[in-house]
Amino acid sequence: MNYYVDPAVFFSFVFASLFGSVSAGGIVVVDLPLVPNYAKAHGILMGLALVVVLPGGAILMRLLSSKGKPTVWVHVGTQLVGWVLMISGLAMGAKVGKILDRLENNAHTILGTVVVALLLFRPLFGFLHHRRFMATRKRGKMTLFHVWYGRVLILLGMLNGGFGLKLATNSPGGNIAYGVVAGVIGATYVAVMVHFEVTGGSKTSSRTPDVPEETSKSQSS
Ligand code: HEM
In a domain, 134, yes or no: yes
Helix (H) or strand (E) holding 24, with range, is strand 23-24
Q: Is the CB of 115 under 6 A from ligand 1?
A: yes
What digits encode the pLDDT tens for the residues 41-58? 999 999 999 999 999 999
In a domain, 165, yes or no: yes
Spatial distance between the Cα atoms of 52 and 65, rounded to a whole number of angstroms: 19
In a domain, 12, yes or no: no
What digits encode the pLDDT tens for the residues 50-109? 999 999 999 998 888 888 887 888 888 999 999 999 999 999 999 999 999 999 899 999
Supply the pLDDT for residue 7. Answer: 59
The answer to whether residue 149 scores a pLDDT higher than 80 is yes
122 C-alpha to center of ligand 1: Å?
Answer: 21
Contacts 24+ apart (CB under 8 A), 135-139: 137/218, 137/221, 138/204, 138/205, 138/221, 139/202, 139/203, 139/204, 139/205, 139/206, 139/209, 139/210, 139/211, 139/221
Number of domains composing the chain: 1
In a domain, 20, yes or no: no
In a domain, 211, yes or no: yes
In a domain, 188, yes or no: yes
**What does pTM read for this prediction?**
0.82
Closest-CA residue to 27 (of 15, 42, 11, 9): 9
- Residue 98 maps to which CATH number? 1.20.120.1770
Supply the pLDDT for residue 170. Answer: 86
Phi then psi dihedrals of residue 70, to 5 deg: -65, 135
Query: Helix or strand or coil: residue 70?
Result: coil
**Ranges 57-61, 134-138, 199-203: which has the least confidence:** 199-203
Q: Is the CB of 165 under 6 A from ligand 1?
A: yes
Please provide the size of the chain in residues. 221
Parent domain of 40 = 34-220
In a domain, 2, yes or no: no
Ligand 1 atom closest to the Cα of residue 47 is 5
In a domain, 29, yes or no: no
Residue 182 neighbours by CB under 8 Å, 6+ apart: 47, 51, 158, 161, 162
Helix (H) or strand (E) holding 103, with range, is none
